[in-house]
A and B are shown apart, each in its own frame.
Chain A
Amino acid sequence: SQTIHQWPATLVQPVGSPLSLECTVEGTSNPNLYWYRQAAGRGLQLLFYSVGIGQISSEVPQNLSASRPQDRQFILSSKKLLLSDSGFYLCAWSVQAFYGYTFGSGTRLTVV
């Protein structure tokens, strides 16, 4: 069966520090991968999605970037965090969007 791993679960980082969040999927090949952010009490904001290795589409221009160095690995990064980067970051995968997504357990990021 397929599983998705996301870590860390919580993270407190100072303003201006770098960020690296990792997501990996097991049990499937060539998944579509997604990074979302959810601010407190708000809906899901799509940040990046990828349909293959090295292919990244950005939905929101900001100081975040994403990479997909391996088929089942998706990384969200920032060189310098802003206070506004605080939120709940979710990784998700799908075979095709038609069949829905499966989410990882999420990372709660607080920038202080």
Chain B
Amino acid sequence: QKEVEQNSGPLSVPEGAIASLNCTYSDRGSQSFFWYRQYSGKSPELIMSIYSNGDKEDGRFTAQLNKASQYVSLLIRDSQPSDSATYLCAANSNYQLIWGAGTKLIIKP
């Protein structure tokens, strides 16, 4: 069974601090990895994709990939209350994305 695992949280972070979200995946054949943000009652929205080892930065967001450790992370710098949401990690496997259960992030003003 191919899996993506995330800590369900909630992860509570003070406003302005760095939020660090992590996930691990089981399929060594996965080649692409994604972070989606889902606000309560809304559909998931893609915020970061990463395909190669190392870091990828986009504004306040940095995705990190370590294929040897099968580990993906998302850093959110200068966290804002609007970043409060559930963050879903996903890895491709054949025709599908395999999804983690999501980490609930709470940014405290």
Contact = CB atoms under 8 A, between A and B. Distances in A.
Say whether A associates with B. Answer: yes
B60 interface: no
Contacts of B90: 100
B95 A97 contact: yes
Contacts, number: 48
A2 to B, nearest CB: 13
A94 B43 CA distance: 15
Contacts of B44: 44, 90, 103
A106 B43 contact: yes
Interface string A80-111: 00000000101000000111111111101000
A27 interface: no
Contact of A97 (B42, B92, B101): B92
Among the interface residues A44, A51, A98, which one has the most CB atoms of the partner chain B within 10 A? A44
A32 interface: yes
A51 B90 CA distance: 19
Given A100-B46, A105-B43, A46 B102 contact: no
B97 A101 contact: yes
Contacts of B94: 97
B52 interface: no
Contacts of A46: 96
Interface in A62-79: none
Interface in B79-106: 88, 90, 92-97, 99-102
A43 B102 contact: yes
A49 interface: yes
